[in-house]
Structure 1
């Protein structure tokens, strides 16, 4: 699922850094996980736009400093 304003390869790198193996197993079907691990599909291809946005937002929240 393309997300406007993001390079798909950069976005995939960010998603990979923010999702643990357990989270990937929870979010992807067995066949999707196999395709991802084989390099046939990226997380950008497999996750829907809402999942991508939630994952990106989660990382942004951790970067904020408390006031």
Structure 2
């Protein structure tokens, strides 16, 4: 059983709720954004700094 907050889907939902598509797009390459649109998890595509910035409103 996954720990709440550490499930990739939970983290993706939280990131998607706090960031616009434009913000997410700006932090990814074209290839990464295509992967995201095809179902890849944001935590697999964004680096730790980007995730932290998005979650903390920077």
Structure 1 length normalisation: TM-score? 0.69
Relative to total residues, which structure has the larger helix share, 1 or 2? 1
2:56 is paired with a residue of what secondary structure? helix
Q: Which residue of 1 aligns with 2:52?
A: 53
Q: Which residue of 2 aligns with 1:63?
A: none
Give the total of aligned pairs: 54
Deviations 1:20-64 (A, max 9, x none): 11112211111110110011x1111011111111111129xxxxx
Structure 2 length normalisation: TM-score? 0.78
RMSD over aligned Cα, in angstroms?
Answer: 1.8
Determine which structure has more spread, i.e. the larger CA radius of gyration.
1
Q: 1:6 Cα shift?
A: 2.6
Gaps of 5+ in 2: none
* Aligned-partner Cα distance in 2 for 1:12–1:46: 11
| Off by >3 Å, runs of 4+ in structure 1 | none
